[in-house]
Amino acid sequence: MRLILISGLSGSGKSVALNVLEDAGFYCIDNLPASLLPETLQHLRLYGVTDTAVSIDARSGASLVDLRYELDELREQFNVHILFLTTREETLVKRYSETRRRHPLATGNRSLEECIRTEREMLANLSSHAHIIDTSDITANTLRAHIKDFLNLKSTAFTLVFESFGFKYGIPMDADLVFDVRCLPNPHYNPALRPLTGRDAAVIAFLQAEPLVAQMLEDIRAYVEKWVPAYIRDNRNYFTVGLGCTGGQHRSVYFAETLAAHFRQSQQVLVRHRQLD
């Protein structure tokens, strides 16, 4: 079993790190008392769990002292990596001020600065045996990238979604990009094509005979192809391209199906037809 132990100062990004590992297929446990770690790992191994990430912080209290020695024993049974996240005190004070959250060690009249210093002292022994990442001056996306590099994690699966819709029913809330194809010739005005959809051969032939359709299709394809890598680097798991015509039956359906067929050669693709579905 591979064990990633995540620790560090509260507010330094442990939740971000745990989410990265969860997306990568790890069985994740947040805020596990340190004393329960060996028993928990043995239990998970019995159930066939191969990759586990556990977040442990200063709320474990006195049991943190024994954790250092327990880790030596665990290394004989598991592939253990320790990731420790730290941040400058002034940065943590600013983050707590912005979120208005209470520090986990806040009791009585103890100030936020005192809580941060106490927590840093409690975790000092653990940090000396860990890979340390200072999150003071980096974004959440940069932190995700650092964690993936450190653990040699593969990028999470990216799914490109093409969704057709009718503008008269509203724009899809989940669309990241929206293209309007209402300026193109409309099969709706051909009585023979009106009851059909953009998946039917007669409608496809009608639209393929129009030069403007081919031009717009190529423009959209080129735009999506150019910018999808940037969204993948931005740690997106899903990216939805909305394609809208008036009723969501002919032109937008044809565009969604045609673009999906092209991008299936390089990406995991889903197609949705909001009005037809």
84 neighbors 126 (Cβ within 8 angstroms): yes
Between 3.40.50.300, 3.30.70.580, 3.30.70.920, 3.90.180.10, what CATH number should domain 2-151 receive? 3.40.50.300
pLDDT tens digits along 201-259: 999 999 999 999 999 999 999 999 999 988 887 777 789 999 999 999 999 999 999 99
Q: What is the pTM of this model?
A: 0.62
Q: What is the pLDDT of residue 63?
A: 65
Q: What is the pLDDT of residue 233?
A: 79
Distances (CA, A) of 55 to 10, 168, 260: 11, 48, 40
DSSP structure class, residue 187 = G
Q: What is the pLDDT of residue 98?
A: 84
Q: What is the pLDDT of residue 72?
A: 81
d(CA 133, CA 150): 10
Low-confidence ranges of the chain (pLDDT < 70): 62-63, 65, 154-157
Q: What is the pLDDT of residue 258?
A: 97
Q: What is the pLDDT of residue 157?
A: 66
**What own/partner pairs with CB < 8 Å and gap ≥ 24 does 269-272 have?**
269/159, 269/160, 269/161, 269/162, 270/159, 270/160, 270/161, 270/162, 271/161, 271/162, 271/163, 272/161, 272/162, 272/163, 272/164
* Bridge partners, 7 (sequence order): 84
Q: What is the pLDDT of residue 194?
A: 96
Q: What 3-state class would DSSP assign to 51?
A: strand
Q: What is the pLDDT of residue 133?
A: 92
Q: What is the pLDDT of residue 205?
A: 97
Q: How many CA atoms are closer than 13 Å to the CA of 221, on its beta-carbon side?
A: 18
First to last CA, the chain: 43
Comparing CA positions, the residue from 146, 154, 143, 158 lying closest to residue 24 is 154
Q: What is the pLDDT of residue 162?
A: 97
Break the chain into its structural domains and give their ranges: 2-151, 159-273
- The side-by-side arrangement of strands in the sheet containing 177-180 is 177-180, 238-245, 159-166, 268-273
Burial 2-39 (b: 16+ CB within 10 A, else e): ebbbbbbbbbbbbebbbbbbebbebebbeebebbebbe
